[in-house]
Structure 1
Amino acid sequence: MHTIWKGAISFGLVHVPVRMYAATEDKDISMRYIHKACSTPLNYVRTCPTCNKEVGWEEISRGYEYEPGRFVLFEKDELDALAGEANREIKILDFVDLTEIDPVYFQKTYYLGPGDTGAGAYSLLLESIKQTGKIGIASVTLRSKSSLAAIRVIDRCISMETIFYPDEIRAVDQVPNLPDSANVNEKELTMAKLLIEQLSSPFEPEKYKDSYRAAMMTAIEQKIAGEEVRAAPTPERANVIDLMAALQASLDAAKPASADTPAAAAKSGKGSKKASGGSPEPSAPRGKGRKRTGS
């Protein structure tokens, strides 16, 4: 793996030298823009509309537009000086439970491997996090951007997940047409909860595949071979008007109903406490639906 950052994790007066590596990779199929007339790939060019010429990276600064058309400029060394030691430190501020963090806060995951020194401190922090079941909330600066981060363990590795600051999360009140209150039919609610139970299973990430990427690769291979691209027909969807009928059909499709199944009990109106809506409401999954495992 390529090292993208070197520094240290600090908690209290303890410093743990680490190297940072990208934990994920983009598997998207890359497409280039092509000039149809001659099949030549088009290049991305940085041009200045005033000077009417291409601009190299060495001629570029960073600027903040404080009013329309007026900028204050910063060079890289000025931005680095503003960040100071934060450029080389992941400072743990608090330790919390992972379940207290809503997934909306998470951005990107990085692996943190041991630095050239301090292997003992690395192992100590890793084992302490595992055995306490806590994660660290840290401040970090990457690529001239300050961020919060969650420090936790994935398998045998300390990881860092950058997370948004609270003022970077948009309020749900900005979403149009949200209902003021939940107004649902109790029978439909019971059926929907039964469907959720039937579709529930342990999280097994390996069973999920990128079907669009697979279809694209097949189409690319067909094009290379000079064949006509053949796409699978899109199944027609019925315009469902009866919600109860749709729920029942979904239950039947998820698990064939027999005389003693909850679906059959709900259909016959006889059934258990669960079918009659007597079961407690499922708890809200705040922060518990993380897609990666760890402590």
Structure 2
Amino acid sequence: MGTRSVWNGSISFGLVNIPIKLFTVLDSNNEYSFNQLDEKGHKIQYKKWCPIEEREIPYEEIRKGYKIAKDEYVIIEKEDFDKIKAITTKTIDIKEFIDLKDFDTILIEKSYYVSPSTDGSAKKRRGKQKENLVSASNKAFRLFVDSLKETNKIAIGKVVLKDREHLVAIRPYQRGLIMHQLMFQEEITPINEIEGMPGSESSGSLVPIDEKELELGKMLIGNLTSSQFDVTQYSDEYAKELEKLVTAKSKGTTYKTEERNDSVDTSDNLIEALKASVQRSKTSKN
């Protein structure tokens, strides 16, 4: 069964309008989810409980509140949210284009595949008329992809998804496009607020680096550098072991795991740790 689209709309820039569909990148079929049980294996229920009145609160009585002081909240009703609700459109409005090298991946929150689509009017048409419309849509999509590739640009725009306005970036990916839903700058913790980060108040003075240490560090990176990144050589080992564990438990058998050999701790001597790492990286490549 093919993946179903999660959003239909269009990319709009200038006077150009390109019908598209969005598909989630994440494959949730490989995820494990667990229920919470009591010691007898009964599934636990969750109740909304008021500790002041000592009673369960039914769904229709529950309100959303924003804390402004200790034990003091401002109640926000559904009607209040509707007043600031973003106007839902079916358009990704492109605001600007930026160089690929200027795009900071820390902004990425989630990603979607983007594919060409026919708009609603195409479905109502028949024969040659529908065929021409589909062809024009695919051509506009292909032109957009190739234009981004040729110029090494990323499109930055805005779109409303699930009643919220989102900043997005669209870039070429393999044979099509990928759209990254981005975080706004104010949602990201500034790096200088991270405890111990170089340049932060808690980091203290910068630690000097010896030339020999730097040379060994560069050598180690060189030995571990691949000519081309191949993500298919990596997989979720934890998920594989979890699957074996669940299968064994369901069959009433014992799950066995291989013992791991702990590496020698050289963290107290940076030079020795670097030398050992460089030697190991040479051996692994041979």
What band does the TM-score fall into relative to the shorter chain? 0.7 to 0.9
SS in 2 for 1:40: coil
Deviation at 1:5, TM superposition (A): 1.4
Aligned equivalent of 2:181: 162
Aligned equivalent of 1:69: 73
Matched residues in 2 for 1:102 and 1:199: separation?
A: 25
The letter for the 2-side match of 1:157 is G
Deviation at 1:64, TM superposition (A): 5.5
Match 2:270 to one of 238, 243, 258 = 243
Residues 53-98 of structure 1, C-alpha deviation per residue, up to 9 Å, x if partnerless?
A: 442xxx488845263322222259926x73115x422111111122
Aligned equivalent of 1:203: 229
Aligned equivalent of 2:214: 189
Matched residues in 1 for 2:76 and 2:150: separation?
A: 49
Deviation at 1:122, TM superposition (A): 2.1
Alpha-carbon contact 1:64-1:72 (below 8 Å) kept = yes
Match 1:82 to one of 81, 85, 110 = 85
The letter for the 2-side match of 1:138 is G
Q: Report 1 or 2 for greater relative contact order, CA contacts < 8 Å, sequence distance ≥ 6.
A: 1
Matched residues in 1 for 2:138 and 2:216: separation?
A: 54
| Higher fraction of helix | 2
In the alignment, structure 2 segments of 5+ residues that lack a partner are: 120-136, 199-204
Aligned equivalent of 2:24: 22
In 2 relative to 1, CA 121–75 (structure 1 residues): closer, same or farther, beyond 3 Å? farther
- TM-score, normalised with respect to structure 1: 0.76
Alpha-carbon contact 1:48-1:54 (below 8 Å) kept = no
Alignment length (residue pairs): 250
Between the aligned residues of both structures, percent identity stands at 26
**The 10-residue stretch of structure 1 (217-226 or 235-244) with the greater mean CA deviation from structure 2:** 235-244
Aligned equivalent of 1:137: 156
**The 10-residue stretch of structure 1 (223-232 or 205-214) with the greater mean CA deviation from structure 2:** 223-232
Deviation at 1:229, TM superposition (A): 2.4
Matched residues in 2 for 1:15 and 1:76: separation?
A: 34
- TM-score, normalised with respect to structure 2: 0.78
- Root mean square deviation of aligned Cα: 2.6
Aligned equivalent of 1:33: 36
In the alignment, structure 1 segments of 5+ residues that lack a partner are: 258-295
**The 10-residue stretch of structure 1 (224-233 or 6-15) with the greater mean CA deviation from structure 2:** 224-233
The letter for the 2-side match of 1:7 is G
Match 1:214 to one of 240, 243, 253 = 240
